[in-house]
Each structure stands twice: as C-alpha cells, then as structure tokens.
C-alpha cells in the first residue's frame, strides 16, 4: 500500500500547476463556445482525460526503462456523424476529431512529448446510457529528449525531436445527462520518427485513463434498421512511395522508393480484404552488391473504409530480402485519401516487428 501511495505522490509531483491549469482552462473555454439550446445533427463534444501507463520493453536495448510509468493529459474536440449519407456509407454511428496530448514519459532520458492527433472513433455499441467505441489515430509530435552519443547515449527510442504518434484504443461512456458523460479508456500507443534517423526503436506504452466529456448540442440517436444496401466492389491501385531515412552506419539520408500494386475485395460496409505486391529499393552502406538494396514481397491484409479515407494493415513476407531487413516478415500500416475517382495519396509506415523501418509518402492511380 505504501508503494502505491508513493507512486501516486510521484505522479502528482510530475504535473506542474501551470500545465494542468492550461489544459483545464482550454477545456472550460470550449464549453462556452456554443449555446446551450443549440439543436443540430452534427453535435460537437469536448473531453478532458488523464492516463497512466507503463513503458513496454520490446528489446533488450531498452531494458534501462523497465518499470517506467508514462502519464498523459489529453484534450479532444470531436463530432458525432449522424447524417443519412454517412450512416449509409458506414453502417454505424461514429465520431471523428482531433486531440492535443502532453505525455511525460517518466524518465529524464525520455523527457516529454506534445503532440496533435487526428482520429476516427466508430461507436460499436450504443444504448440509452452506455456507449462503447474503438478508436484509431495518428499525428505529429515534438519530443523533448532525443538520442545523443555523448549526452543521452542510453535513449535509443528516437533520434529526432520530430516524431509520429500512433494509437488504438477502446472506450466506454456512461451518459450522466444530455450534456455530460464519463469516459474510461484503454489505449496502446506508439511514438517514433518513422525511420527518419537512427536509432529509432520507438516507445510503446499501454495506458488506461478516465475523463469527462461535454456537449452543448441536443441530438437524437436514430435506428439503423433501414439503411440502404451497400455494393460489394473490387478496387485496384498502383502506388509509388518515397522516403528519406538515415542509414544504420551513416548520418546522411538514404533514399527509399516503393512500387506497390494493391487489390482490394470489399466484404462489408467498412472493410475490404487486400492482396498486394511490393517492389522496394533502399540505399544502404551495408550492401555488398546492388541486388542487396532490393526487396520483393507479397502482402495480405485488411482495410477499413471510412468514406474517402482508407486505413489498412498488411503482413508481408520477403521473396527477395534487402540487407537492411531484420527478419523475413514485416508489416505495413497505411492511411490513404481518395482525391478523385482515379487518384489517391497518403502515408505508409513499414515496420519489422515492433521497430519502425520508415514512413513514406504515397501517390497512386486507382482503376
């Protein structure tokens, strides 16, 4: 019991009064933006949450941080999507929004992070007083402490102040009244620089949290029994991707070029099964011949469809493996947006296990 009390005391000491006050004032400011009697089919929500978690040691190189407990304060603005067009496209109620996060990683080597995240949150179960949801998000972050061979040699999680956070979470809401609700969440979070510079082992940290959510809008949840039927479609994409990352033995940027063919088979309103083929060229100082810089691989995966937005997860196995690859299996996580009938663009994160390899920009032709 004394150890638990000591941990709580340490957590409270790590939050400065100025920081807590800033987030709370921001929350209160947004509460007063809207009229209490505003009626809309696009209600806005404002939430303030606090999280506590633990640092996941996914490689022996990060063992000095075993037992470290990150804490997070989060302010979010979201909108519930209720119009008929969105409901017919998705088949369920959902929210989308943006969040501002402050994360204290709990160790002087790791410092803190301030990041903004955009997210999508499907409501998986809706009842009169209870909502249950899943959420996926990604964004951009400033990290206060980075690797330095002399001043911070132990921190191999990140080598740049710029980083890219990813998060997946589940939440439950208990509705107190028309305006207020309590939110409990469990989230798995990752932050790294996407392979821009090495070392880049990243930080994985599961967190649990409590928060409050407020809306000044009145709205009505409608039945989903009379939705229009959806059409099962097949889609093909030819994509070109580019990234500049640091080599493992050099501080200079190395070029990464990808060509990917992707075929999707829609199985539901919001998801498709995908098959893909990847040809990739990565410059490397470790290559003994030009063939060592090339990789070829088939991939299989799932894709979530949110209107014009696609979020996919794919698993690949190398048929031809470049010298940079740590093992035979790898994953890709992409976020793409349809600019028109035949044009798409987005970002793709490639990883080997729990270690990010690189983040690339993609543009493609849809047919």
Is residue 353 scored above 90 in pLDDT? Answer: no
Q: What is the mean pLDDT of residues 64-69?
A: 95
Angle at 101 between CA 58 and CA 183, to 5 degrees: 95
Name every residue whose Cβ is closer than 8 Å to that of residue 171 and which is 6 or more positions away in sequence.
121, 132, 133, 134, 135, 183, 184, 185, 186
- pLDDT for 256 equals 93
Average pLDDT over residues 59-70: 93
**Greatest alpha-carbon span in the chain:** 70
Alpha-helical runs (H) found in the chain: 2-14, 17-31, 84-90
pLDDT in tens, 237-278: 999 999 987 644 444 567 899 999 999 998 888 889 999 999
pLDDT tens per residue across span 22-59:
666 666 666 655 545 557 878 999 999 999 999 999 88
CA distance 143 to 166: 14
Instruction: Please answer whether residues 273 and 305 qualify as being in contact, where contact means their C-beta atoms are separated by less than 8 angstroms.
Output: no
Give me 62's structure tokens: 């990060």
Instruction: Give the global pTM.
Output: 0.74
Structural domains in the chain, sorted by start: 14-214 (2.40.160.20), 234-366 (2.40.128)
User: 257-260 contacts: CB < 8 A, separation 24 or more?
Assistant: 257/281, 258/348, 258/360, 258/362, 260/362, 260/364
Mean pLDDT of the chain: 86
Q: Is residue 233 over pLDDT 70? A: yes
User: What are the contacts of 87-91 at 24+ separation with CB within 8 A?
Assistant: 87/222, 87/224, 87/227, 88/227, 88/228, 88/230, 89/269, 89/307, 90/122, 90/269, 90/270, 90/306, 90/307, 91/224, 91/227, 91/230, 91/268, 91/269, 91/270
Give the pLDDT mean for 156-175.
Answer: 95
Mean pLDDT of 358-365: 94
User: Reduced to 3 states, what is the DSSP secondary structure of residue 63?
Assistant: helix
Is 16 a residue whose pLDDT tops 80? no
């Amino acid at each position: 019991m004394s150890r638990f009390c000591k941990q709580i005391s340490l957590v409270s000491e790590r939050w400065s009064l100025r920081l807590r006050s800033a987030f709370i004032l921001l929350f209160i400011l947004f509460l007063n933006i809207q009229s209490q009697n505003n009626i809309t089919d696009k209600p806005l929500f404002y939430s303030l949450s606090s999280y506590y978690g633990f640092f996941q040691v996914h490689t022996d190189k990060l063992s000095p941080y075993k037992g470290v407990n990150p804490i997070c304060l989060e302010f979010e603005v979201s909108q519930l999507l209720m119009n008929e067009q969105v409901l017919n496209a998705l088949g369920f109620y959902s929210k989308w929004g943006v969040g501002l996060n402050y994360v204290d990683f709990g160790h002087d080597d790791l410092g803190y992070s301030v990041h903004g995240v955009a997210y999508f949150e499907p409501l998986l179960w809706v009842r009169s007083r209870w909502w249950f949801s899943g959420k996926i998000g990604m964004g951009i972050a400033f990290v206060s402490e980075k690797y330095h061979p002399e001043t911070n040699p132990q921190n191999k999680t990140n080598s740049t102040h710029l980083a890219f956070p990813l998060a997946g979470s589940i939440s439950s809401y208990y509705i107190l009244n028309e305006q207020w609700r309590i939110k409990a969440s469990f989230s798995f979070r990752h932050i790294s620089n996407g392979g821009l510079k090495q070392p880049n082992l990243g930080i994985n940290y599961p967190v649990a949290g409590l928060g409050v959510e407020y809306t000044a809008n009145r709205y009505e949840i409608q039945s989903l029994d009379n939705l229009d039927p959806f059409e099962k479609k097949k889609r093909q994409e030819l994509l070109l991707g580019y990234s500049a990352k640091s080599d493992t033995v050099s501080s200079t940027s190395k070029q990464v070029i990808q060509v990917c063919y992707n075929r999707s088979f829609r199985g539901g309103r919001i998801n498709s099964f995908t098959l893909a083929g990847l040809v990739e060229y990565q410059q490397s100082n470790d290559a003994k011949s030009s063939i060592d810089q090339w990789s070829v691989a088939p991939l299989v995966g799932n894709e979530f469809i949110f209107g014009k937005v696609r979020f996919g997860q794919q698993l690949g196995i190398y048929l031809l493996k470049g010298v940079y690859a740590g093992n035979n299996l790898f994953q890709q996580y992409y976020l793409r947006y349809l600019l028109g009938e035949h044009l798409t663009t987005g970002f793709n994160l490639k990883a080997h296990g729990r270690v990010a390899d690189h983040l690339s920009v993609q543009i493609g032709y849809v047919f």
